[in-house]
Amino acid sequence: MLFRHRGWLPVPFLLVPLLARGTMQPRNWIIGVALIVLGEAIRLAGVAAAGTVTRRRSRTVQRLVTYGIFAWMRNPLYVGNFLIWIGFTVISGVLWFLPIAALLFAVEYTLIVRYEEGVLESIFGEEYLAYKTRTPRWFPSPPATRETGEHQWGEAWRSEISTFLQYAVITALFIAKQRLGYIS
C-alpha cells in the first residue's frame, strides 16, 4: 500500500516548511538549492540508467540494473528525493523540521525498500542477493568493479519534466511566503 502511494510522501515535507514560520535567508537558499540540484542529479542518473520504469507503481521489473549510479547505491532515486525534500526544508528556514523530516523519510522509505527488495529477490534470486551484498542501500560507495550499461539521458530528462514543473511551483510558493512576510 505504501509502495503504491509513495508519490504522496513528499506532502508533509512540503506542507510543514510552507506553513510553519521560518527564517528564509540567502544562505538557506544557496544551501537548499545546492541540495536540490544534487538530489535531482542523482535522480536523473538513476532514471537514465534504469529507464522510466522506475517511476511506475507496479511490480513489473524486466531487468536488474546494477550499473551507473546503481553500482554506487541501490536506491539513488530515493536518496535524490531525500536531498530534494531536505533542500526545500532548508530554503524554508523551518530548520526544526529537519530531524523530523529525516526520521519520516527513514521510516517511510525503509518500509518501501523492504517491500521492493522482497520483489527483486523473488524475481532475480541470487543475482539480486549478490548485488545487495556488494552495493550499499543508501550511502554511495565506489563499486569494486565497473559494470557498463546504456543510459537513456533524453528519456530521463523528458520523464522529469513534471518534476521540474513541481520544483518551479514549490519555489514560487516559497518566494510568495517570503514576500508576504510569513517569516520570523
In the chain, what is the greatest distance between 2 CA atoms, to the nearest angstrom?
56
pLDDT at residue 136 tops 90 = yes
pLDDT at residue number 97 = 93
Domain ranges for the chain, please list them. Answer: 6-179
* Average pLDDT of the chain, as a whole number: 86
User: What whole-number distance in Å separates Cα of residue 119 and Cα of residue 56?
Assistant: 14
> Measuring CA to CA, how many Å separate 113 from each of 96, 116, 138?
27, 5, 10
* pLDDT above 70: percentage of residues in the chain: 87
pLDDT digits (tens, 9 = 90+) for 56-98: 555 567 788 999 999 999 999 999 999 999 999 999 999 999 9
**Domain 6-179, what fold?**
Four Helix Bundle (Hemerythrin (Met), subunit A) (1.20.120)
pLDDT at residue 7 tops 70 = no
pLDDT at residue number 56 = 52
Q: Which residues lie below 8 Å from residue 106, measured CB to CB, with a gap of 6+?
A: none
Residue with cell 523530523: 100
- Look up the pTM and report it: 0.84
User: What whole-number distance in Å separates Cα of residue 64 and Cα of residue 130?
Assistant: 12
